[in-house]
Amino acid sequence: MSSKKKAPEFRTEAEERAFWEQHDSSDYVNWDSARSVSMPNLKPSTKTISLRLPESLLNSIKTEANKRDVPYQSLIKAWLADDVKASRKS
């Protein structure tokens, strides 16, 4: 296997981002020897959105959340995640 190039030292994260947007990492990293890592404390970033729902629908969601003893926003996220996952399988 040919030797890999040495990645430059970056002064800022923005400089590094710009570099990797223009270069192929396989020229710098031997991905054949890469290993999976576990980052159990890494929290996914979230973004706040505004979603308009009919009051009756929101009340029904809150009722379901109460039955399950979970916050209604968590229930909405779980339902959305399940639906997206199911949609990607089909």
pLDDT digits (tens, 9 = 90+) for 29-39: 888 888 999 88
Residue 1: C-alpha distances to residues 6, 31, 32 (Å): 15, 12, 11
Mean pLDDT of the chain: 92
- Count of CB atoms situated within 10 Å of the CB of 58: 14
pLDDT score at 68: 97
Q: How many residues does the chain have?
A: 90
Alpha-carbon span 62 to 89, nearest angstrom: 29
- In tens, the pLDDT along 32-72 reads 888 999 888 888 888 999 999 999 999 999 999 999 999 99
- Count of CB atoms situated within 10 Å of the CB of 7: 14
pLDDT score at 70: 97
pTM for the whole structure: 0.53
pLDDT score at 12: 94
Cβ neighbours of residue 58 closer than 8 Å, sequence gap 6 or more: 72
